[in-house]
């Protein structure tokens, strides 16, 4: 079989490749990418799209970056992969050293996983094993909030929103966790955390940990909340003797304006999950970090063996490009870049608020969200965005962008103008 023609391999793709969150019998259209450079995706027909998604929030430096290319090419010449069971290598050790230095002082221990979902699985296992080793075997439940998203593996799915999320059909299979209302708060210190506190007090003997996305709830609804909620949450965990897991897979490495979102609340989690931007979007890699308290707690039964071991954990290519990505980020004025993007998003998306179909416009760091009153027709809207020369992937009621940090002002303006143009047209067709 020859798949030289674009039309041929697109047809094979349609018939045989199962893409994420789509049906095989009624698939959404796919757009063939020939190459990518900077913030642009080049399609097979020659069209270029400005990427507003950073390839699901990971490609913070854009595509085909010479520094990251060089890191992988250099590492490839010495070792592409080696099992991490019983062996180690410098790229992994160097990466762990960087992560320990960059994060809060108590986070001294690093488990290198192979995806964000797996990082969450590891965090859940750490929390449960922590209490199990100390004889508190009843503490096996997680407490979290509505509209959260923590991955598509079974453990991660169990702490995603069971009603409004993507996994309602699996309710009878997933472990049953505790869910408080999504965070609402204001900077004067008022919040709805009393709802979570009530659940925590009532079920303290069963709860191993609280897991939450700090400041930004990602794929569960792109909702933002203030740092005060996190400060109160940390205090509750301390008072009621449960661990705090922060899922920074989406927010880590600068997306919200600080290197890690938890820094804006001046707190430290017991367990921290990182991923996505860790490698600059080049390769799949994630990390679960924890404190000496958790490590020693897991070892309280004299064993201390964390029961997890992905085949490709600490892949040398992924570790080395992660090292290069972190160094590249820190060598640039990334804070100014995030502030510039935030200011422009606030200025240029504001016009969408005037449209009758729009519920709310919100911006946090390099994240711009337009929430509509009704769900979008993703198939139609996706095609409309491509016609405008941009790659924006809406879902449910949300049209949002999380562009690469290197995006220029005129490039970002093309994204925001496309959003307004398409939503304005949709608004006009409602009447």
Which residues are known catalytic residues? 21, 149, 247, 276
Report residue 320 CA to chain centroid gap: 21
Q: Return phi, psi of residue 240, to 5°.
A: -110, 10
Distant-in-sequence, close-in-space partners of 358: CB < 8 Å, separation ≥ 6: 352, 370, 371, 372, 373, 423, 427
| Rounded Cα gap, residues 283 and 276, in angstroms | 9
Neighbour count for residue 143 (Cβ, 10 Å): 25
Distant-in-sequence, close-in-space partners of 281: CB < 8 Å, separation ≥ 6: 54, 55, 58, 59, 60, 61, 63
| Rounded Cα gap, residues 321 and 281, in angstroms | 9
DSSP 178-214: EEEPPP-B-TTS-BSHHHHHHHHHHHGGGEEEEEE-S
The answer to whether the beta carbons of residues 211 and 123 sit under 8 Å apart is: yes
Distant-in-sequence, close-in-space partners of 278: CB < 8 Å, separation ≥ 6: 252, 253, 285, 286, 287, 322, 325, 326
The answer to whether the beta carbons of residues 60 and 281 sit under 8 Å apart is: yes
Nearest to 370 by CA among 424, 414, 406: 424
């Amino acid at each position: 079989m020859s798949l030289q023609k674009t039309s041929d391999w697109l047809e094979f793709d349609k018939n045989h490749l199962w893409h994420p969150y789509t049906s095989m019998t009624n698939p959404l259209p796919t757009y063939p990418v020939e190459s990518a450079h900077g913030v642009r995706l080049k399609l097979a027909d020659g069209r270029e799209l400005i990427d507003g998604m950073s390839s699901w929030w990971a490609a913070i430096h854009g595509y085909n970056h010479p520094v990251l290319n060089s890191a992988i090419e250099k590492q490839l010449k010495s070792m592409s992969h080696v099992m991490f069971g019983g062996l180690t290598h410098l790229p992994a050790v160097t990466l762990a050293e960087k992560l320990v230095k960059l994060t809060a002082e108590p986070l001294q221990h690093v488990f290198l996983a192979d995806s964000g979902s797996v990082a969450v699985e590891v965090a859940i296992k750490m929390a449960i094993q922590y209490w199990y080793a100390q004889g508190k075997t009843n503490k096996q439940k997680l407490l979290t909030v509505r509209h959260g998203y923590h991955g598509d593996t079974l453990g991660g799915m169990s702490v995603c929103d069971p009603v409004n999320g993507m996994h309602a059909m699996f309710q009878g299979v997933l472990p049953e966790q505790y869910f408080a209302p999504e965070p609402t708060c204001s900077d004067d210190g008022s919040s709805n955390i009393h709802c979570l506190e009530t659940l925590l007090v009532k079920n303290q003997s069963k709860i191993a940990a609280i897991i939450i996305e700090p400041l930004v709830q990602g794929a569960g609804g792109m909702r933002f909340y203030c740092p005060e909620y996190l400060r109160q949450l940390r205090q509750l965990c301390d008072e009621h003797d449960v661990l705090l897991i922060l899922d920074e897979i989406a927010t880590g490495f600068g997306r919200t304006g600080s290197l890690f979102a938890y820094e804006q609340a001046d707190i430290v989690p017991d367990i921290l999950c990182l991923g996505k931007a860790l490698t600059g979007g080049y390769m799949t890699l994630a990390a679960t970090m924890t404190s000496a308290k958790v490590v020693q707690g897991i070892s309280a039964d004299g064993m201390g063996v964390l029961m997890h071991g992905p085949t490709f954990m600490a892949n040398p290519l992924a570790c080395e490009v992660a090292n290069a990505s972190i160094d590249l980020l820190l060598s640039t004025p990334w804070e100014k870049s995030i502030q510039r993007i935030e200011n422009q998003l606030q200025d240029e998306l504001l016009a969408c608020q005037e449209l009758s179909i729009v519920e709310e416009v919100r911006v946090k760091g390099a994240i711009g969200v337009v929430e509509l009153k009704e769900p979008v027709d993703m198939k139609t809207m996706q095609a409309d965005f491509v016609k405008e020369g941009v790659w924006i992937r809406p879902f449910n009621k949300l049209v949002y962008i999380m562009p690469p940090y290197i995006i220029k002002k005129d490039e970002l303006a093309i994204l925001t103008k496309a959003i307004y143009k398409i939503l304005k047209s949709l608004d006009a067709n409602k009447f």
